[in-house]
Amino acid sequence: MSSEVLFTLLVAAVAVERLAELVVSRRHTAWALARGGVETGRGHYPVMTVIHAGLLAGCLVEVWAADRPFVPVLGWVALGLVVLSQLVRWWCIRVLGRQWNTRVVVVPGLPLVGRGPYRWLSHPNYVVVVVEGAALPLVHTAWATAVAFTVANAFLLRVRIRTEEQALRAVAAG
Judge residue 67's burial from the number of C-beta atoms within 10 Å of its C-beta, 0-12 exposed, 13-18 middle, 19 or more buried: exposed
pLDDT tens for 56-109 read 999 999 999 999 999 999 999 999 999 999 999 999 999 999 999 999 999 999
pLDDT reported for residue 171: 74
Per-residue confidence band for 168, with pLDDT thresholds at 50, 70 and 90:
confident
- pLDDT over threshold 90, residue 24: yes
Q: What is the mean pLDDT of residues 138-154?
A: 98
pLDDT reported for residue 49: 97
Q: Quick one: which of 59, 82, 84, 85 has its CA closest to 4? A: 59
pLDDT reported for residue 169: 87
pLDDT tens for 124-141 read 999 999 999 999 999 999
Average pLDDT, the chain: 96
pLDDT reported for residue 174: 62
CA dist 159 and 51 (Å) reads 14
pLDDT tens for 109-121 read 998 899 999 999 9
Q: Are 55 and 85 in contact (CB under 8 A)?
A: no
Please name each of the domains of the chain with its CATH number: 3-173 (1.20.120.1630)
Q: What is the mean pLDDT of residues 5-14?
A: 98
pLDDT reported for residue 170: 84
Q: Tell me the residue type at 130.
A: V
pLDDT reported for residue 125: 97
Burial 94-128 (b: 16+ CB within 10 A, else e): ebbebbbbbbbbbbeeeeeeeeebbeeeebbbbbb
Q: Quick one: which of 123, 132, 131, 103 has its CA closest to 44? A: 103
CA dist 122 and 161 (Å) reads 10
